[in-house]
A and B are shown apart, each in its own frame.
Chain A
Amino acid sequence: MKLRGHIGGIGVLGPGLHNWPQAAAILSGKQSYAAEPTVLPIPSMLPPAERRRTGRVVKLALGVALEAAARADADPAQMPSVFSSSGGDGHICHEICQALALSTREVSPTRFANSVHNVAAGYWSIATGSMAESNVLCAFDASFVAGLLDAMTQIAVDRQAVLLVAYDTEYPPPLHAKRPIPDALGIAMVLTPERTATSIACIDVALTEECADRMSDPPLEALRSAIPAARALPLLRLLACGAAGRVVLDYLDVSRAAVQVQPCG
């Protein structure tokens, strides 16, 4: 069985990256890249009580997921999803570990509930009313391709559209010294088994031992290597250029993912 799918809509947020059209202009060389802190949207689709409780991970993941679903003209409530992130909410983790290091050990119940790795998937389900399944993954630096493989096998086997959301946020000090992710970056895409009216490109994914492609622009290469979700940038660059081609994305120590891209003209 071939791991083939169609990309029907993309969402992007990151340092100096505000949405897919603006990111595409940068990646295709039409605009120059200027790094600036990631600006995260307020998740207005959540009820006010829930909105107040959400941290940067949720804002980031919901932001890119919504953009991808809207561009794909897909109903978020009907789509299974794959959320893949290289770590949880570093700020919440820091606050809990700090509280546990004190003799009082008072852990905030809301923080604890929001410390789960599937926090973004949970809020996504609440925000969209989706009762479809959501798979929440972590493969450290390999998290983007781990999520892509899970989404691709879902559409290949179950023949239905899947929303893939890959996202990472920074860890505050002192954890930052041990896990130096500089800022928040998320990439979402709607993948469908068949071509649709909004399909951008058809992709075939296979494992390979080749080395991963790099970005030629040094600031973008720095981004690719600093944030696990940004390991997808070589793929996004090809999609932004609207060209057919093949890219190799970073994955595990023993394997990478080769993605063959054929634009939907």
Chain B
Amino acid sequence: MQPLLLAQFTATSCIGLGVAPTLASLAGLRSGLTRCDFETVKIDTHIGEVPGVDAQRLPAELRRFDCRNNRLAELALRQDGFLDALDAAAARWGRRRIGVFIGTSTAGIMQTELAYRARDPVSGALPADFEYGTTHNSFSVADFVRRRCGLEGPAVAASSACASSAKVFGTARRMIEAGLIDAALVGGTDSLCLTTLYGFHSLQLSSPAPCRPFDVARDGISIGEAAAFALLERASAEISGDSILLYGVGESSDAYHMSAPHPEGLGAKRAMQAALEQAALEPGDIDYINLHGTGTPSNDRSESQAVTSIFGPTTPCSSTKGATGHTLGAAGALEAVISALAIRHGMMPGGVQTIRIDPTLTAHYIKENRHAPLRRVLSNSFGFGGTNCSLIFGRAG
């Protein structure tokens, strides 16, 4: 593929609002996970909650989009001068020539959860002020973002569970290469809600403790929330060597099970190989891997096998979910931004929360930060339904 420039990027999660605090948390090996006290939830687990989401207000003209998920998107869009960068991009490319592709798994479903608590006791009807399309529907966050940013190109929400906001980079690549658009606002937003907290709990996939990816005692995920965005453009010849580019997007399906990964990670392996092929790179060219690394026994086992089968046991890798929690449909975009920060600052973030690395996992998992120039980084995102996506980012020079 023609590499695409990450002209601007931002991320908001429990470890920071914007890239500077995010980077500081990673550098300080800090986790944002806390004991779950979200809303009325009574589950013994930990969560990665973003502070200030409920207090965030949307612009008055977009009031009908108001829900926790879009408040989180609004909060994130306000960081790092991102809205200004979009204005500049719109002036440069034209509003119709910028697409908006946003990944989410549950969007604002919490609005429907709350509406179900307030049903009319006689008729069973949902409250009159509950609006499905602009809050709960998967497209609501993409529609909110495109209106908020005044962009008028093709727009869609990608909703492939926890691979959603990695896969939007693939949609952007195809749309830009086909010439339908010149630039794309890609990203992901997923917010805490009862459906995912109780749902993962019912599947016995959430841990009572802060999640410990690749730990010998790992026992599940910690659910987090995040919104992360990037502006992708065709890379011109004049970009500086320090610029961050998207070099490859690899996608695959497991053809195995709805809620369990292929035991040998065959789908994951296929996605990583496809990304390498698209980037015209060899496994040895990858300096660091940001793993999907959820902290469930099965994910980490199959991912470790898949990674080792391609990269061998020496390529440093880690999961940042011990810091951020598993931000589900936002994880792909959040970890794309973390990968970009790793490249820009020459820092491989160590996997926090992990105490004793599972000796049966052969991938080279790092617990401490490592400092080294990074040219190429691979980021994995996998999801329910056996959907896999691997992204490769790197320096322009």
Tell whether, in the assembled complex, residue B154 and residue A146 are in contact, meaning their CB atoms are under 8 Å apart. Answer: yes
Tell whether, in the assembled complex, residue B174 and residue A107 are in contact, meaning their CB atoms are under 8 Å apart. Answer: no
B322 located at the interface, meaning its Cβ lies under 8 Å from any Cβ of chain A in the complex: no
- Given the contacts A101-B116, A126-B256, A179-B133, A150 and B156 also touching, CB distance less than 8 Å: yes
B266 located at the interface, meaning its Cβ lies under 8 Å from any Cβ of chain A in the complex: yes
Taken together as a complex, chains A and B put the C-alpha atoms of A146 and B270 apart, in Å, by 26
Tell whether, in the assembled complex, residue A126 and residue B180 are in contact, meaning their CB atoms are under 8 Å apart. Answer: no
Question: B42, B131, B156: which contacts A139 (Cβ < 8 A)?
Answer: B156
- Given the contacts A137-B156, A157-B177, A125 and B385 also touching, CB distance less than 8 Å: yes
Tell whether, in the assembled complex, residue A126 and residue B386 are in contact, meaning their CB atoms are under 8 Å apart. Answer: yes
A31 located at the interface, meaning its Cβ lies under 8 Å from any Cβ of chain B in the complex: no
Question: A1, A87, A123, A128: which contacts B258 (Cβ < 8 A)?
Answer: A123
Of A113, A134, A157, A207, chain B has the most CB atoms within 10 Å of the CB of A113
- Given the contacts A125-B254, A131-B266, A116 and B385 also touching, CB distance less than 8 Å: yes
Residues on B facing A (Cβ under 8 Å): 42, 96, 105, 109, 112-113, 115-117, 119, 124-126, 130-133, 137-140, 142-143, 152, 154-161, 167, 170-171, 173-175, 177-180, 194-195, 198-204, 251-259, 266-267, 270, 274, 383-387
Tell whether, in the assembled complex, residue B112 and residue A117 are in contact, meaning their CB atoms are under 8 Å apart. Answer: no
Tell whether, in the assembled complex, residue A121 and residue B112 are in contact, meaning their CB atoms are under 8 Å apart. Answer: no
Taken together as a complex, chains A and B put the C-alpha atoms of A122 and B382 apart, in Å, by 12
Taken together as a complex, chains A and B put the C-alpha atoms of A3 and B175 apart, in Å, by 10
- Given the contacts A107-B195, A121-B160, A146-B154, A174 and B126 also touching, CB distance less than 8 Å: yes
Residues of B within 8 A of A154 (CB): 174
| Distance between A183 CB and nearest chain B CB, rounded to angstroms | 18
A226 located at the interface, meaning its Cβ lies under 8 Å from any Cβ of chain B in the complex: no
| Distance between B278 CB and nearest chain A CB, rounded to angstroms | 10
Residues of B within 8 A of A93 (CB): 109, 112
A198 located at the interface, meaning its Cβ lies under 8 Å from any Cβ of chain B in the complex: no
Residues on A facing B (Cβ under 8 Å): 1, 3, 50, 53, 86-88, 93, 96-101, 105-109, 112-119, 121-123, 125-126, 128-140, 142-143, 146, 149-150, 152-154, 156-158, 173-175, 177-179, 207, 252, 254-255
Question: A109, A115, A132, A153: which contacts B175 (Cβ < 8 A)?
Answer: A153
- Given the contacts A107-B199, A131-B254, A153-B178, A137 and B157 also touching, CB distance less than 8 Å: yes
| Distance between A94 CB and nearest chain B CB, rounded to angstroms | 8
**Among all A-B residue pairs, the 10 with the closest Cβ atoms:** A122-B385, A133-B251, A112-B199, A117-B159, A138-B138, A125-B253, A113-B259, A153-B174, A153-B178, A140-B139
Residues of A within 8 A of B154 (CB): 146, 149, 207, 252, 255
Tell whether, in the assembled complex, residue B126 and residue A178 are in contact, meaning their CB atoms are under 8 Å apart. Answer: yes
| Distance between A77 CB and nearest chain B CB, rounded to angstroms | 8
| Minimum CB distance partner of B198 in chain A | A107
Question: B179, B198, B199, B253: which contacts A133 (Cβ < 8 A)?
Answer: B253
A sample of 8 cross-chain residue pairs with beta-carbon separation below 8 angstroms, ordered by A number, consists of A1-B178, A1-B179, A135-B251, A146-B156, A153-B178, A156-B178, A179-B132, A207-B180
- Given the contacts A100-B116, A107-B195, A135 and B385 also touching, CB distance less than 8 Å: no
| Minimum CB distance partner of A141 in chain B | B133
| Distance between B389 CB and nearest chain A CB, rounded to angstroms | 8
Residues of A within 8 A of B109 (CB): 93, 97
Taken together as a complex, chains A and B put the C-alpha atoms of A26 and B267 apart, in Å, by 42
Residues of B within 8 A of A130 (CB): 253, 255
Question: B119, B178, B255: which contacts A174 (Cβ < 8 A)?
Answer: B119
Taken together as a complex, chains A and B put the C-alpha atoms of A74 and B42 apart, in Å, by 50
Residues of B within 8 A of A146 (CB): 154-156
Residues of B within 8 A of A175 (CB): 112, 126, 132
Tell whether, in the assembled complex, residue B159 and residue A138 are in contact, meaning their CB atoms are under 8 Å apart. Answer: yes
| Distance between B62 CB and nearest chain A CB, rounded to angstroms | 14
| Distance between B113 CB and nearest chain A CB, rounded to angstroms | 5
Tell whether, in the assembled complex, residue A97 and residue B255 are in contact, meaning their CB atoms are under 8 Å apart. Answer: no
| Distance between A227 CB and nearest chain B CB, rounded to angstroms | 15
Taken together as a complex, chains A and B put the C-alpha atoms of A96 and B125 apart, in Å, by 16
Residues of B within 8 A of A115 (CB): 195, 199
- Given the contacts A157-B174, A252-B155, A116 and B124 also touching, CB distance less than 8 Å: no
Residues of A within 8 A of B200 (CB): 112
| Minimum CB distance partner of B1 in chain A | A157
Tell whether, in the assembled complex, residue A119 and residue B194 are in contact, meaning their CB atoms are under 8 Å apart. Answer: no
Tell whether, in the assembled complex, residue A129 and residue B255 are in contact, meaning their CB atoms are under 8 Å apart. Answer: yes
Tell whether, in the assembled complex, residue B255 and residue A138 are in contact, meaning their CB atoms are under 8 Å apart. Answer: no
Question: B116, B130, B138, B143: which contacts A117 (Cβ < 8 A)?
Answer: B138
- Given the contacts A133-B253, A154-B174, A207-B180, A116 and B105 also touching, CB distance less than 8 Å: yes
Taken together as a complex, chains A and B put the C-alpha atoms of A147 and B201 apart, in Å, by 33
| Distance between B15 CB and nearest chain A CB, rounded to angstroms | 26
Tell whether, in the assembled complex, residue A150 and residue B125 are in contact, meaning their CB atoms are under 8 Å apart. Answer: no
| Distance between A125 CB and nearest chain B CB, rounded to angstroms | 4
Tell whether, in the assembled complex, residue B160 and residue A135 are in contact, meaning their CB atoms are under 8 Å apart. Answer: yes
Question: B152, B159, B204: which contacts A116 (Cβ < 8 A)?
Answer: B159
Question: B160, B252, B255, B256: which contacts A118 (Cβ < 8 A)?
Answer: B160
- Given the contacts A130-B253, A138-B137, A207-B180, A97 and B113 also touching, CB distance less than 8 Å: yes
Taken together as a complex, chains A and B put the C-alpha atoms of A98 and B126 apart, in Å, by 12
- Given the contacts A139-B139, A150-B174, A177-B126, A113 and B384 also touching, CB distance less than 8 Å: yes
Taken together as a complex, chains A and B put the C-alpha atoms of A254 and B387 apart, in Å, by 32
| Minimum CB distance partner of A94 in chain B | B116
